[in-house]
Amino acid sequence: MRLRQTRSLVLAAAVAVAVSACATTTSPTGRTQVVGGVSQQQLDQMGEQAFAEMKAQKAQTTDARQRAYAACVVNAIVRELPPAWQQRYRWESAVFVDNSPNAFALPGGKVGLYTGIFTVARNQDQLAGVISHEIGHVLANHHNERITRQVGAQGALQVAGAILGSRYEQGIGDAAMQGGSILAQTGFLLPGSRVQEAEADVVGQQLMARAGFDPRASVGLWENMIKASGGNRSPEWLSTHPEPQARLAEMNQRATTLMPEYESARAAGKRPNCG
């Protein structure tokens, strides 16, 4: 057997061994997930610690209107989460001074926005598109899934390196680990991330529609994002985000199917007035 084939087989077997002890669960869209690299309690603590460190190290806006605006949208979205997710955390938001058009949500009920997000999210519905997408990652247990994948990949690389090193000398083992790191990222970790991004789009649009935010606004938001980036992005196979035009088409189609749910929410009195 050629060395290249041996490396691939050893890495594949090692990945399978590394993740075999983890549990499987089902995501909100019905996708099977491998989780369990860390416990939920550990995950929440990690999110809380990361958020506390960021607040200690990064300046927050002094604009009370921005803080209230962000909190209003976050609270409206959180009210549409399953009761357990509302009760588990004391949801908290913060707006950091940074021109990047970014936002994030962390396990432990933490939501962060950069002031730059307001340049692309130009109304409350578009801002809800950002926030609901990020909270969708938390709801869909993506952080645990990512950590579990990374733990599995790193463990597998160590096993692969040890096996190949003992059989083909240590230099070959080291080279296999270096090559394996690239393989793990491009063939194992990043494709999962693209799946997660697409799934967060689904969950996010559902949440915003239920909260009384127009799900069609997500399309305009991501069009603004694309314009702000100048169209610069990595090839899809090296990207953690789906191809932009395909993503917009899917969002647009999904928004159409969610309009009855949005209209029902508005009829029921869910009419956020945040901005």
7 near 141, Cβ under 8 Å?
A: no
One-letter amino acid at 195 equals V
The catalytic position among 134, 145, 197, 199 is 134
153 near 188, Cβ under 8 Å?
A: yes
Give me the DSSP letters along 183-228: HHIIIIIHHHHHHHHHHHHHHHHHHHHHTT--TTHHHHHHHHHHHH
Alpha carbons 91 and 236: distance in angstroms, whole number: 34
27: left (phi over 0), alpha (psi -120 to 50) or beta: beta
Pick from 189, 194, 190: which is nearest to 246 by CA? 194
Q: How far is CA 78 from the centre of its chain?
A: 17
- Per DSSP, the three-state class of 95 is strand
DSSP state, residue 94? E
Alpha carbons 44 and 109: distance in angstroms, whole number: 8
Alpha carbon distances (Å) from 187 to 56, 104, 128, 242, 250:
36, 25, 32, 15, 24
Establish whether 199 is a catalytic residue. Answer: no
Report the b/e string of 80-92 with b at 16+ CB within 10 A.
Answer: bbeeeeeeebebb
Percent helix, strand, coil in the chain, to 5, is: 65, 10, 25
Residues annotated as catalytic (active site), given as ranges: 134
